[in-house]
Amino acid sequence: MAESESPLFSWIVFKTLSRKARTLRHPDNLVAAHLSLINAASSVISPQSIVQRSCHLLSAGLLLGLSLLGGCTAEDSGYQRVQTGAEDGTGRAYMGREIADVMTSEHGALWLDRPQRDEEELPQRLLRALQLNASDVVADIGSGTGFFTVRLARLVPSGRVYAVEVQEALVDTIRVRAERQGLRNVTPVLGGVSDPALPENRLDLALIVSSYHEFAFPREMLEKLEYAIKPGGRLVLVEYRAEDETIPIAALHRMSEAQIIREGEAAGLQYRETLDVLPQQHIVVFTVPIEER
């Protein structure tokens, strides 16, 4: 049976994840290493060999640690302790869904920028489905190495793309990558595990691709994003389908459409539609209610 978490539990989890996060932090060469991995990614890397643990490096981001928000009970927060024994789980659940652990090895960077991704996930189809205007202001939440950031930037030449990460090294990686590609409309942002650190009422769209399921504080993140998005603006969650057992992704790294909608609405967002245009992923679209502003 699930057990309400305590401040002590949150602190223990925070310390554990912090130790894992430090294994990635090589101050002198991590940015260069990330960019090197992006350039070196090739078909030699088997997606099946790393997919179980590297759905999104976050991205190792937006959740690599847990802050001391513990102390909330299951009744007033939706968070619980669980004991499922899942190797890639965190032992914490939100609204009945165990929060997935984060991939913290360099395989994550390879996974994000693997050449096969264009064929497996059809990212251009996703980008077309977003129907962006050239002047839109967009946030790529959990932007990782910038796979979607640079593609979004080219679609909004008169707008802006905020690339949000919690690891400073990844933020620097995105900054260098954007500069090398001549993209002046990219703003890297060092966010937190429960706050993306974005300006209020600024975004036309926030995009979260295959990383929301790893957010340490999903409710808080969605609530903060709601304030950053303009009234009537969109928040788009893209996650591998839990309903399809043939998808070679670990169970905790997939989400059902119903669960995504449930969590979005719990944060005050309005469900708009689900776009079934990708071979393996849901595209679930929410809007920020106009009447709340």
Domains of the chain: 7-111 (no CATH), 117-292 (3.40.50.150)
Q: Please state, rounded to an integer, the average pLDDT across all residues of the chain.
A: 80
Q: Which of 45-59, 73-87, 265-279 has the highest mean pLDDT?
A: 265-279
Among 22-31, 110-119, 198-207, which is the least confidently predicted range? 22-31
Query: How many whole angstroms separate alpha carbon 183 and alpha carbon 29?
Result: 23
Judged against a pLDDT cut of 90, whether residue 261 lies above it is answered with yes
When pLDDT is cut at 50, 70 and 90, the band that residue 25 belongs to is very low
Which tens digit of pLDDT belongs to each residue from 168-184?
988 999 999 999 999 99
Percent pLDDT > 70 in the chain is: 69
Give mean pLDDT, residues 155-163. 98
pLDDT at 255: 98
- The amino acid present at 236, given as its one-letter code, is V
pLDDT at 86: 87
Percent pLDDT > 90 in the chain is: 61
Give mean pLDDT, residues 156-177. 94
Which tens digit of pLDDT belongs to each residue from 234-249?
999 999 999 999 999 9
pLDDT at 76: 53
Query: How many whole angstroms separate alpha carbon 151 and alpha carbon 214?
Result: 23
Alpha carbon distance, N-terminus to C-terminus of the chain: 40
pLDDT at 292: 59
Judged against a pLDDT cut of 50, whether residue 50 lies above it is answered with no
pLDDT at 16: 38
pLDDT at 270: 98
Structure tokens at 168: 């400073």
> What is the largest distance, in Å, between two alpha-carbon atoms of the chain?
53
Judged against a pLDDT cut of 70, whether residue 108 lies above it is answered with no
pLDDT at 120: 77
Which tens digit of pLDDT belongs to each residue from 267-285?
999 999 999 999 999 999 9
Q: Which of 221, 231, 210, 201 lies closest to 284 in space, CA to CA?
A: 210
Owner of token pair 């294994």:
23
When pLDDT is cut at 50, 70 and 90, the band that residue 121 belongs to is confident
Owner of token pair 């949150």:
10
pLDDT at 158: 98
Structure tokens at 114: 């693997």
pTM of the model: 0.77
pLDDT at 291: 78
Q: How crowded is the C-beta side of 39, counted as CA atoms within 13 Å?
A: 9
pLDDT at 87: 86
When pLDDT is cut at 50, 70 and 90, the band that residue 36 belongs to is low
Q: Is 132 exposed, middle or buried (0-12, 13-18, 19+ CB in 10 A)?
A: middle
pLDDT at 39: 59
When pLDDT is cut at 50, 70 and 90, the band that residue 37 belongs to is low
pLDDT at 32: 55
